[in-house]
Amino acid sequence: MVARPGRPWLPDRVIVPETPPTPTLYDWAGGHEALVELLTVFYRHVLEDPLLEPVFRGMAPDHPKHVAVWLGEVFGGPAEYSANHGGHAHMVGRHRGRGITEAQRRRWVTLLLDAADEAGLPADPEFRAAFAGYLEWGSRLAVVFSAPGAEPDPHEPVPRWDWPMPPWQPPPA
Ligand code: HEM
């Protein structure tokens, strides 16, 4: 080990223990295919639900896939919703004027959390905390955007969501 000139008390290099890079929530969830599966399961149950069926009965056939693309971008995957689906402004526009109620919001979140189990998304506490946190935040904003007279900023970017505290750690070997 060669001491640094001028600062002889410092070693010439510091050994940093190797830690694997933190995966994105998108990668940890299983990527695009896993999110499409999640949203397919979810909207099947939405259409069986008496509170939500009236809200979604006229939804576009591609709606589950589009929401999967949205979630993928939010969770650190490709910025595909921004590039090809109209970005944040389009998502906001799809909620405006719908007057989503708190009961509908809560059912929407509950069914999506149940769908995560059914679709086999990772069940570790860190991932599920991030997932549930985003759904809670995003669904409350959807209610705000859908309220009569709401005028959300159309220029906001698609949000990015990340791991909660405590930080992600590799699973025990
Ligand atoms: C985290 C919460 C939410 C997210 C991330 C989200 C995301 C989205 C996105 C990305 C779209 C547009 C899809 C496209 O590009 O075609 C959309 C549309 C829509 N959302 Fe949400 N949403 C959320 C919460 C809710 C809630 C709570 C409701 C009602 C209970 C709702 C009702 C709708 C409806 C009715 C549409 C239009 C569907 C269609 O006609 O195709 N959303 N949402």
The contacts of residue 138 (CB under 8 Å, 6+ apart) are 74, 159
Q: Tell me the C-alpha distance between 74 and 125, whole Å.
A: 19
Whether the ipTM is more than 0.90: the answer is: yes
Integer Rg of the chain from CA: 21
Q: Which of 89, 92, 91, 128 is nearest to 112 (CA)?
A: 128
- Test site for ligand 1: of 57, 67, 107, most ligand atoms within 8 A of the Cβ: 67
> Is 90 one of the annotated binding-site residues?
yes
3-state SS of 68-119? Answer: HHHHHHHCCCCCHHHHHCCHHHHHHHHHCCCCCCHHHHHHHHHHHHHHHHHC
What is the tens place of the pLDDT at every residue in 156-171? Answer: 999 999 998 766 677 7
CA separation for the pair 60, 21 (Å, rounded): 38
Counting atoms of ligand 1 from 1, which one is nearest the CA of 135?
Answer: 1
Ligand 1 neighbour 35 (Cβ under 6 A): no
> Which atom number of ligand 1 is nearest to the Cα of residue 71?
5
Distances (CA, A) of 26 to 13, 23, 31, 42, 88: 35, 8, 5, 18, 18
Cis peptide before 171 (omega within 30 of 0): no
Distance 12 CA to ligand 1 centre (A): 55
Q: Using CA positions, which residue lies closest to atom 24 of ligand 1? A: 139
Confidence bin at 8 (pLDDT 50/70/90) = confident
Residue 141, strand partner residues: none
CATH 1.10.357.10 given to domain 25-146:
no
pLDDT digits (tens, 9 = 90+) for 49-105: 999 999 999 999 999 999 999 999 999 999 999 999 999 999 999 999 999 999 999
Residue 172 Cα to ligand 1 middle (Å) = 37
Rounded distance between C-alpha atoms, residue 15 and residue 84, angstroms: 44
Determine which of 43-57, 80-94, 120-134, 145-159 has the lowest per-residue pLDDT on average. 145-159
